[in-house]
Amino acid sequence: MISAEARYRTLVRVLPAWYRDERGDEVVGTLLDLHGERARAALWNELWALLALGMRTRLAAGAAPARAVALGDLVRQVALLGLLWGVLRSAGKVGEGVWVFVAFSDQGYAYRAALVSSLAKGLVPLAAALVPLVLLVDGWRRPARIAAGAVLAVGAVLFLAGHRSDLGPGPVLYFAPQWLPLVLVLVAFHVDAPVPPARPWWWAIGASLVLAPALALGVVFSGALGRVAGVSPLVWLCAIAGVGCLLLRRRNGPRSARTLATALCIALVLVQNLVLKNGIAPSGVVVVAQVCCVVAIVVALTVVGIRDYRRTVARHD
């Protein structure tokens, strides 16, 4: 029969090795002191605190080895960029929906009601990405995590209800860029995590809310833009952002985290749009060119990010 100490030493493995070496015995001793029927509530509280401590130490923000800090920076950057992509994508759909409503709202009550319903369905994913992002940028970490958890819970119920018959890799890959940032908000923006710098993120949010509807309406009104949109004009916008990240990298701050996060998010964006388009059509020359271009940018970002990561770790170790 496995002893209580052996079980607790197994549980303590949720903590990274460097933290276990320093304080692992102390944590196990605390759990053993609380072991017993009378301290069951306190023991469960301690186990919950242990899981939270494991996330804080594995995704550290400071006072930790350079590898842990770099991983924490990467996860937080992916969460922020993923939420920004959700804002960008949803804002484009909402902008197009608003134009359709204004242009065709005089077609009768039933048609107008359908347009309102469609517009509301576009506003929900926009709010699901915008609210946690705005809360984080404004420094409200705990409300942002609560909002992310609520969106995940409701989204999981709706997803399972709507995809019970066709649950497979396609729907999961399509929704992954929307789910992953919310999960990372929950695990990475703990009490010790830094809040993102407000000014650049406010500019990014504002630009997304303007550029996405403009591109969406540009495809509707301009046949020329529609012919070169590829899988989506927003994918071209993400590719331009990736090139800008390569050319305008700052010499301070978490460069490797920002570069690798940009590579991962652009890759998820491409996968999501390919799932939506059901692959690359043989005759879609623009689509093939766009995919090749974006893949090359993702590879370049990944190579540069890994190089910067190794330099950062070597400099701080």
Q: What is the pLDDT of residues 34-75, one digit of tens each?
A: 665 555 666 667 677 777 777 777 777 766 677 777 788 888
The model's pTM is 0.80
How far apart (Å, rounded) are the C-alpha atoms in residues 181 and 272? 14
d(CA 217, CA 226): 10
The residue ranking higher by pLDDT, 100 or 235, is 235
Average of per-residue pLDDT across 248-254 = 58
Residues near 8 by Cβ (< 8 Å), separated by ≥ 6? Answer: 28, 31, 32, 35
pLDDT score for 281: 56
Portion of the chain with pLDDT greater than 90, in percent: 1
Report residue 122 as tokens.
Answer: 């576009």
Residue 251: predicted pLDDT: 52
Q: What is the pLDDT of residue 105?
A: 61
Angle value at C-alpha 74, between 153 and 10, nearest 5 degrees: 70
Return the percentage of the chain with pLDDT > 70, whole number. Answer: 69
Task: Give backbone dihedrals phi and psi of 145, rounded to 5 degrees, phi first.
Answer: -70, -40
What number is the average pLDDT over the span 233-248? 83
Q: Compute CA 226 distance to the chain's CA centroid, rounded to the nearest angstrom.
A: 28
- The confidence score (pLDDT) of residue 296 equals 92
pLDDT at 230: 72
Joined together, the tokens standing for residue 86 give 């959700």
* CA distances in angstroms from 150 to 42, 88, 144, 195, listed in the order given: 27, 21, 10, 21
Return d(Cα 28, Cα 11) in angstroms, integer: 9
pLDDT for 102-126, tens place per residue? 666 666 666 566 666 667 777 778 8
Task: Write down the pLDDT at residue 179.
Answer: 83
Tokens of 35: 């072991």
DSSP-based three-state secondary structure for 251:
coil
Residue 33 pLDDT exceeds 50:
yes
Q: What is the mean pLDDT of residues 232-237?
A: 82
Output the 3-class SS for 156-218.
HHHHHHHCCCCCCHHHHHHHHHHHHHHHHHHHHCCCCCCCCCHHHHHHHHHHHHHHHHHHHHH
> Residue 56 is encoded by which pair of tokens?
């804080």
Rounded Cα distance between 122 and 162, Å, is 17
Could you tell me the two tokens for 155? 């989204």
- Across the chain, what does the average pLDDT equal? 76
12-26 confidence digits (pLDDT tens): 777 777 777 777 667
- Rounded to an integer, what distance in angstroms lies between the CA atom of residue 68 and that of residue 66? 6
Of these ranges, 22-26, 146-150, 166-170, the one predicted with the greatest mean pLDDT is 146-150
- Closest C-alpha to 130, from 90, 74, 177: 90
The pLDDT value recorded for residue 1 is 37
pLDDT average, residue stretch 233-260: 76
* Model pLDDT, residue 176: 74
Q: Which residues contact 153 (CB under 8 A, 6 or more apart)?
A: none
Give the mean pLDDT of 236-248. Answer: 83
CB atoms closer than 10 angstroms to residue 234: 22
Say how far apart CA 189 and CA 78 lie, in whole Å.
12
Using alpha carbons only, what angle is made at residue 162 by residues 173 and 126, rounded to the nearest 5 degrees? 65
Which ranges of 15-65 would DSSP assign to H, the alpha helix?
A: 17-33, 40-58
CA distance 220 to 225: 9
What is the C-alpha to C-alpha distance for residues 85 and 266, in angstroms, rounded to an integer? 9
257-308 tens-digit pLDDT: 788 888 888 888 888 777 776 655 555 777 888 888 889 999 998 888 888 7
The whole-number pLDDT of residue 316 equals 57
pLDDT at 184 over 80: yes
